Structure 1
Amino acid sequence: MSQSPTLEEELERARDLSVSDLADAIESIGFECTRCGACCTGHGPEADREPHTATVFPDEVRELQAATADHAGDETGDAGDETDGAGRDEDAPADASTEWRDVARPMPYGLTDGDDGPEGETFEWALQTDACGDCVFYEETETDGETTGACSVHADRPLICETYPFSVALDGTSQPMGEAVDSVTLPARGDADEAGDAAETVRAHECEGLGRDISRADAEELAAALKERAVRELTEAVGVRDTYEPARPGPGEVVVHDSEGAKRPDGTSVDD
């Protein structure tokens, strides 16, 4: 019986992925975003609606904090208020910023509902959601009776959002919400047969934009982001494994383990 590959071995496979081969797979499946918003919102019956759940890593949370703060500063500057020249309100507190909780929440898997709310240990973070279960960065506009979705932090969105509806099947990488409905096996690498490795597979998940024409340039841009995401996810998985130490959260307490160690829901270390 062959042993499962280690995270380090899978990380090397991710680093060796060919952007050209990934782009070929994406082109063969086809994709164009229709801005329907399905990948940014909760799903299921209204009475039992499942919240949107998308993995976001610590550095991505900080990038979103900065992007959101910059956006708020730009709006303040545009409003005609006195600013410091960088779009910040001179009367605002010096430490005014987007809180960690505004961007991310503990990944719900592994947590239980206690008398004082969610409690337990979990791994990694999910994008924060609103009262409807939609991503907090999701916005809708209506034009001529048609609703169009948009991301308010599109330029700084996490890699899992940038690459949806695609994923690469490697141990240690995450699969986004939505069942895989199509897949393409990548060409085997020259040393794959000798090493006994299975060929990598690009998966396509539920999305109404699948099957549409995509330009080669867009396919290559998406493929490069998909490779970056696979490397990032496996690097994070190695970090989580190496820093993990069992915690003992009390009633109503939540501990989140990421590559930087054990944290509280507000993103601060449990050791602080």
Structure 2
Amino acid sequence: MESLESELDRARNLDVSVLADAVESIGFECTRCGACCKSEADDPHTATVFPDEVRDLQDATDRDWRDVARPMPYGLREGPDGPEGETFEWALETDACGDCVFYEEADGDGTCTVHGDRPLLCETYPFSVALGGTSQPMGEAVDEAGMVRAHECEGLGRDISRADAEAMARTLKERAIRELTEAVGVRDNYDPADVDTGAGEVVVHDSEGPKRSDGTPR
């Protein structure tokens, strides 16, 4: 298995034109169906958001940390007073229906209310770069090298301009570098927490160290 540092070097050396070729070959145009922002099969929407992205969204919306992001649910258990335990990273907050809290729908069209400040994961959907240590949609490879993958999405296969394909490619590279930098930070700052079972405590480990569920350092 390649080290995170080796994968980070690979991410930094990605050829944007090659990534753009892959994106252009399959094509994409957002149809505003909202599928990527809504819960699926009763599972709440789960999109990774990093600490700096949470703060950017706080600045854009004047919301508290808890109103922007929640602890990633994986690894947590249900205690008498709600989720408890340790987890890694943050997910965008959801509403009572399990949809992204920033998603709105009118007349069948979905709208992201923070579109200009949306996290890199959202900005690059439905594509991802297949490097170890990155978040990869469970999709099919769209290039011969298997580097660019695409999640199932009704917007795939639609015409895309070269300029838009290159813009997507640049953001894909930025996301891969960002995710691997974050992964290195999580590893280096990981401090196992002594969580009091039954006390309803949640500890989130991100690149800045362990935090409480409200985003404050633990």
Output the TM-score relative to the length of structure 2: 0.97
In 1, Cα distance between equivalents of 2:123 and 2:43 = 22
Aligned to 1:243: 189
* Unmatched segments (≥5 aa) in structure 2: none
Matching residue of 1:185: 144
What is the CA-CA distance between 1:183 and the residue it aligns to?
Answer: 2.6
Q: 2:26 aligns with which of 4, 29, 48?
A: 29
Q: Tell me which amino acid in the other structure corresponds to 1:5.
A: E
Name the amino acid aligned to 1:53: T
What is the Cα deviation at residue 182 of structure 1? 4.2
- Give the partner amino acid of 2:139: A
Counterpart residue number, 2:208? 260
1:108 matched to 2:68: no
**What residue number does 2:104 align with?**
139
Distance 1:169 1:149 in 2: 28
3-state SS, counterpart of residue 142 of structure 2: strand
Counterpart among 111, 115, 134 of residue 173 in structure 1:
134
Amino acid at match of 2:208: E
| Equivalent position SS for 2:91 | strand
Structure of greater Rg: 1
Q: Say which SS state the counterpart of residue 143 (structure 2) adopts.
A: strand
Residues 240, 260 of structure 1: 8 Å contact kept: yes
Matched residue, 1:20: 17
TM-score of the aligned structures, taking structure 1 as reference length: 0.78
2:179 maps to which residue?
A: 233
Q: Report matched runs for 1:59-208 at 5 Å.
A: 59-69=52-62, 98-142=63-107, 147-176=108-137, 179-186=138-145, 201-208=147-154
1:242, 1:154 → 2: CA distance? 32
Q: Distance in 2 between matches of 1:27 and 1:160?
A: 19
* Corresponding residue SS for 1:229: helix
Aligned residues: 216
What SS does the corresponding residue of 1:33 show, helix, strand or coil?
coil
Q: Aligned to 1:52, which of 45, 50, 53?
A: 45
Contact between 1:182 and 1:205, CA under 8 Å: does it hold in 2?
A: no
1:38 maps to which of 35, 56, 59: 35
State the partner residue of 1:195: none
Deviation at 1:106, TM superposition (A): 0.2
Cα distance in 2 between the residues matched to 1:156 and 1:246 = 32
In 1, Cα distance between the equivalents of 2:160 and 2:84? 44
Structure 2 match to 1:190: none
Unaligned 5+ runs, structure 1? 70-97, 187-199
Distance 1:213 1:203 in 2: 17
The secondary structure found in structure 2 opposite 1:140 is strand
